[in-house]
Structure 1
């Protein structure tokens, strides 16, 4: 069993990112918290459904096998709530459920990007198999990338949430410094995940070693992606992709240091 196992991923932009895998302890703790929330949710559902079913059966006593159909529908809804809980939170909470958020871990795709509905659904559907006889736990402990069956099929990893605040060891323009102060009012910087920040940092650190054409192409590609993430509509005229990324880097640093 390996504690604090680190892994390096290469993004589609050819930027290398390093993460610490969550480990069996953090994942088990997060799952326990999620199951407590799920149990309370399903308990309320069944209480409500039973009360509703009793009233419906009494109102329509002439309908044969109504109780059986209501029971079957309840089991279907129970399954949808169980699966939907993990799918909803992992998609809309950027790879986290309430349990994962408390445990400070998160699901990402194998290429370092955030999970989508396809990955979250596959993980949720296979969770019951992973929980059977602790199959998932054994796979996590024995696997190099600490993946359960759902992770293998969905192409995902579970990592520790790391807020990367680092010393700036590359030049930052004055224009970028000024823009970084204005960005929090212009865009949603909190949408940036640590791996988004890491990708920006890696580019800014390595751009001096790139050719002019390679640097220009990569900076534009990353800037477009970041702009969509932070929901920024308009940029000041004459702002280059490099200046924009420098400003986002500083804005994220300043935001993280206040937490």
Structure 2
């Protein structure tokens, strides 16, 4: 395994994006946090289920045959519920949070598909179902350390990788107009910036950094196309009446200041 191993994706707009693979340290830290949250959820569910199963056992305690069968069924249901909660935790969060669980969000890493697209329900389910195998005798840890793209068994099956979430760059090689600085505060309240993925942000930043070297016609066309795509992603019904460059600069600022 290489330190700060990186992976590249090419978007439909022919922009090349580069991300750092999460690494075993970040993934282990995220997993510890997830297991802490999961333990709290399981304790609450176990306590609730014990109360319910205790009441059911009392109902059938006078009938020996039925009582013993009910006891066996309760034990089987208990294990199924625990496994369902264990798997469902990772599936639920990785699906609705676009590849992140509470632990991954805290560690600033996320799961994406091999081509850089967000994971879906199928990928999240495969990863979760194979997690017990990965954790058996630390098989997943060995695979992460010695595989080229730091994949565990669940990643190989689901076609996913784990990357560091894109962080906003403090100093950029371009200037932000005063008009964009005024517009971005408005976008924070009217736009759903949480729908903007790290690779979407990277495309915007890449354009703003390279626009100075573009021909005027190509620059206007690409800025207009990006503005429309971004507006659709953040569910903005109507673009502000500003040049596309100003809008993209404002989105750049708004993304940096949004609440995760």
1:135-174 residue CA offsets vs partner (Å, 9 max, x unmatched): 2111111111111111122222212234222544346566
2:183 matches 1:179: yes
Equivalent residue for 2:169? 165
1:30-61 residue CA offsets vs partner (Å, 9 max, x unmatched): 21222232233223322322221121122134
CA distance in 1 between counterparts of 2:123 and 2:224 reads 27
Equivalent residue for 1:200? 204
Q: Aligned in 2, Cα 1:6/1:205: closer, same or farther, shift over 3 Å?
A: same
Equivalent residue for 2:23? 23
CA distance in 2 between counterparts of 1:48 and 1:106 reads 32
**What are the residue-to-residue correspondences of 1:219-230 with 2, within 5 Å?**
219=223, 221-230=225-234
CA distance in 1 between counterparts of 2:107 and 2:175 reads 36
Q: Is the 8 A contact 1:11 1:113 kept in 2?
A: no
CA distance in 2 between counterparts of 1:78 and 1:213 reads 59
Taking structure 2 as the reference length, what is the TM-score of the superposition?
A: 0.83
| Aligned alpha-carbon RMSD (Å) | 2.9
Q: Is the 8 A contact 2:114 2:161 kept in 1?
A: yes
Q: Is the 8 A contact 2:100 2:110 kept in 1?
A: yes
2:8 matches 1:11: no
Q: Aligned in 2, Cα 1:51/1:177: closer, same or farther, shift over 3 Å?
A: closer
SS at match of 2:4: coil
2:144 matches 1:144: no
| TM-superposed deviation, 1:86 | 0.6
**Which of the residues 70, 81, 89 maps onto 2:85?**
81
Q: Structure 1: which 5+ runs fail to align? A: none
CA distance in 2 between counterparts of 1:112 and 1:221 reads 20
Count how many residue pairs are aligned between Structure 1 and Structure 2: 256
2:138 matches 1:134: yes
Taking structure 1 as the reference length, what is the TM-score of the superposition?
A: 0.83
Equivalent residue for 2:251? 248
| TM-superposed deviation, 1:115 | 2.3
Q: Is the 8 A contact 1:11 1:111 kept in 2?
A: no
CA distance in 1 between counterparts of 2:191 and 2:201 reads 15
Q: Is the 8 A contact 2:240 2:247 kept in 1?
A: no
CA distance in 2 between counterparts of 1:150 and 1:221 reads 36
| TM-superposed deviation, 1:191 | 4.1
Q: Structure 2: which 5+ runs fail to align? A: none
